[in-house]
Amino acid sequence: MENLTPPGQGLYDPSKEHDACGIGFVVNINGEQTRDIVKQALCVLRNLDHRGATGAEPNTGDGAGILMQIPHYFMKRSCEGLGFELPDPGNYGVGMVFLPEERDQRRFCELTIERVLKEEGLPLLGWRKVPTNNSSLGDTAVRVEPVVRQFFVKKPGSIETELDFERKLFIARRRSTLAIEKSNLGKAHKDFYYMNSLSSRTIVYKGMLTPNQVELYFPDLNDPDIRSAIALVHSRFSTNTFPSWKLAHPYRYIIHNGEINTVQGNQNWMHARGQQFASALFGDDIHKVLPIIQEDGSDSAKFDNCLEFLSLTGRSLAHSMMMMIPEPWERHETMNDDLKAFYQFHSCMMEPWDGPASVAFTDGKVVGANLDRNGLRPSRYYVTRSGMVVLASEVGVLEIEPEDVLYKERLQPGRMLLIDTTQGRIISDDEIKSEIAGEHPYRQWLDDNLVSFSKTASGISYENPDIRPEDILHRQKIFGYSYEDLRIN
């Protein structure tokens, strides 16, 4: 497998990967897993073909894929002839991984994964080679085509909850990825390994494909037992960057259309805070997964890294999204004070991931979408009488009978759409944010602990009146204060 991605040169900088794409999802509100949801999502993907891009070869795409719930009956049947049986849903995880074509390199990656799983106390059930058909792919895509394999991990009896299992799978994924990347083999071969997903809830089928090639390349997706209640799809336009198999969407939690303009600062702050991370849920394992943000990812991949980490530390997906893409709250005169206090409190620990962006997200149980505060990447959705929600970056992606349409809407700037398939309902933006803002006494915490910037900006500290002005200036430089901060605040 060749590496066709060039190093940084001229105006191209691989650390500044951005893209503009087509996104969409189809969800059964009541959580009923059906074949129709998957077929409709793939239809949405095909109709987003114009939002993706190709190279000089019309059959080499920038990337396309689908994120859905694990289709248990299909997986169980597929593993019957492989020498192992799958337990009940939720009691096993599925890893989808891109591996090198060269046999020795591939075996090194597999053994590394197996070693890490054993060290983390996660029993490996077995491996499955994912059937693929590259006959529709262009030469460029074939030259960098990986071997696609799945592996299955049993939930140990010592792990009580599904979320605990997800957290353990996350640790195993990060550890194995870091071990391979830091090996001599990993240093010598860029992009020869990537784990798309490792979860007990969801699975990702994606690649350096056009939307029309996804079903052709992955015969699995045509099987009648591939069923889901949630399916997110993505057609990538890599803008000023290069396509690759691993940078195709969906990622493990999100699909994204737009750009995160602040991504370098977001990444730097996450790295800077890394050694101070603490979590009762992770315990000492927290240091196994650092750094959280993978430097060779696109802006979308880095956003996904952060969202995944925040949700696994005990926050809901909606809570995490509110931290990362907050509303413009500072001068919002009519915003509820509890909500304003929530945003102010979290602004002390997380800078906004800002830019023209529409992000759809799921953890396999809830699915939702959030729009940037300026509404620069529109998303529209339909709610049907038959209990389905269809959202996409534009209208007309799925043919729905007019009499089945309950209502049509568009995402509002800074607002969130959330569907909880376990509760079987759509939760309004006001209800989501009111509930989350009321979980803790954020205003009281701020009143008790927040030190006003104005007390220190002038060079006088009311906490320590003996500190010299030059020491204040020194500390302002360390913590990134600028002249603008001093002037505006």
Report yes or no: 41 and 71 within 8 Å, Cβ to Cβ.
no
DSSP 396-453: -SS---GGGEEEEEEPPTT-EEEEETTTTEEE-HHHHHHHHHTSS-HHHHHHHHPPPT
DSSP for 72-93, please give it.
HHHHHHHHGGGT----STTSEE
Q: Among candidates 196, 192, 3, 34, which has minimal Cα distance to 104?
A: 192
Token pair in block for residue 280: 């009762």
79 catalytic per annotation: no
How many angstroms separate the most distant Cα atoms in the chain?
A: 76
Three-class DSSP category at 96:
strand
What span, in angstroms and rounded, lies between the C-alpha atoms of 80 and 76? 6
In whole angstroms, what is the distance from residue 424 CA to residue 229 CA? 11
**Other Cβ atoms closer than 10 A to 326:** 22
Cα 484 from Cα 489, distance rounded (Å): 8
Instruction: Output b/e per residue, 283-294; b: 16+ Cβ within 10 A.
Output: eebbeebeebbb
Which has the closest alpha carbon to 68: 348, 421, 438, 325? 421
Sheet containing strand 416-420, strands side by side: 254-258, 357-362, 366-371, 416-420, 425-427
Residue in the structure block whose two tokens are 């929530």: 342
CA distance 57 to 194: 25
| Strand 92-99 relative to strand 147-154, pairing | antiparallel
Q: Where are the alpha helices (DSSP H) in 184-275?
A: 184-188, 214-217, 263-273
DSSP 282: T
Q: Count Cβ atoms within 10 A of the Cβ of residue 320 and give its class: 0-12 exposed, 13-18 middle, 19 or more buried.
A: buried
Q: Which residues are catalytic?
A: 21
